[in-house]
Structure 1
């Protein structure tokens, strides 16, 4: 393979990766647990944008509240992480590119 073609391919991959990362940062991921008593929304930059707790959960005590929040956070982080990994893997054809994730 010619070196120029390889460089062009690498530049295209870099641009595609940057575009995909930018698109992922705009996405929103939501997790709801306990029948909707706790709901959390995370953006693609892995920042919590919204946390909603229904009044009825506050009556169940501190431990239940902590447990529900933890479950919601873990669920939404898993969603965002899996989406990012799938998007990046499709661009890199499954290659493990160091520093990508």
Structure 2
């Protein structure tokens, strides 16, 4: 059997260069994503409600860390306290989501990746 001469993979040198660049960018994004994940794990994002009487702290990747409840909030009764904790959780969630989005935009910015 004889192989087709000069056929290779059907890539010209220009295509090979594009492929190499795309692989480099993918590796940069992968390394950046790993660093970003580590950074998000170390972050603490605080949500609050009731003028700070209830605070919820999440990591940057939205893992619950702690809840702080002031004595004043305890005196509000179970139903109101539940509402305050829920509101603080929502606040922390919104802040952490915005932080994740910002960090992902920083990571992928300038790479011209489709879908980002």
- Per the TM superposition, whether the score is higher than 0.5 is yes
1:28 to 44, 51, 57: 44
- How far off is 1:76 after superposition? 0.3
Structure 2, unaligned runs of 5 or more: 1-14
Contact 1:89 1:95 in 2 (8 A): no
Count, aligned residues: 97
Corresponding position: 1:6 with 2:22: yes
CA contact (8 A) 2:37 2:61 kept: no
Q: Which has the larger radius of gyration?
A: 2
RMSD: 1.8
Task: Report how far residue 96 of structure 1 moved.
Answer: 2.8
Matches within 5 A, 1:73-84: 73-84=89-100
Q: Say which SS state the counterpart of residue 52 (structure 2) adopts.
A: coil
> What residue in structure 1 maps to residue 107 of structure 2?
91
